[in-house]
Structure 1
Amino acid sequence: MATRIGVIKSISQGSSVIATAKDGTQRVLKVGDEIFLGETIQTTDFDSKVVITANDGKDIAIIGKDTLNLDKSVAHNESFGDDSVADVSAIQKALLDGANITDLEETAAGGNAAAGAGGDGVSL
């Protein structure tokens, strides 16, 4: 049995919303339709607005011509979390306090990979 992710709460007037299953079958969605893990939700119009109410009660909006893959991150409503907001707040406070942002610690993914890569990078 398919795992229900949520339900279509609203669709802007004149918009088309299509759910595509993993096997390629498609269905046109309407308000009240359930959506399931593994489906891809696609809006077809640039002025579309679709609101999905997830199982946890939170709303997910798709605005414009866009696609949403209903994977486990959507099912569990994963996001960047409060820690990321706290990090941004700390950086903003440091800047307002006059801190030099070049003195901040580099991230693990940071650095200049092109510097020693044999000249494949671009220098200006």
Structure 2
Amino acid sequence: MSEQNFEYRIQRLLTNHGFLVINCARSKPFDLIAIKNQIAVPLELKGKNTSYSEEQKLYQKDLANRTRTNFLVIKQGKKRGEIIIEECYAFYGEANLLWHKMKQEIIDALGEKNVRTRV
């Protein structure tokens, strides 16, 4: 599956579970923004053959820190249908409980049996 098809798949799964999913122009600064219950979660998507450069990671973490938000990196796994979620925390404020609830909703939307998480 191409990286673009992977992005469409993630977008479709989230939309089917009640998220408003917005594509960022030219995937800057993130690929997608998933919104549900007044909480926006920036998503960075990576295909199985795409690297996540240290420069991009630092830029996104800095942006998330300045805006006091968290984001997820969602990678296409090597096995068919596998999705790997890496958490990227910018802060641990009072919104942390809402963040964990939203992260679980995203995992549920993507099909929990196919999702592995890494911290």
TM (norm. structure 1) is 0.27
> Which of structures 1 and 2 has the bigger CA Rg?
1
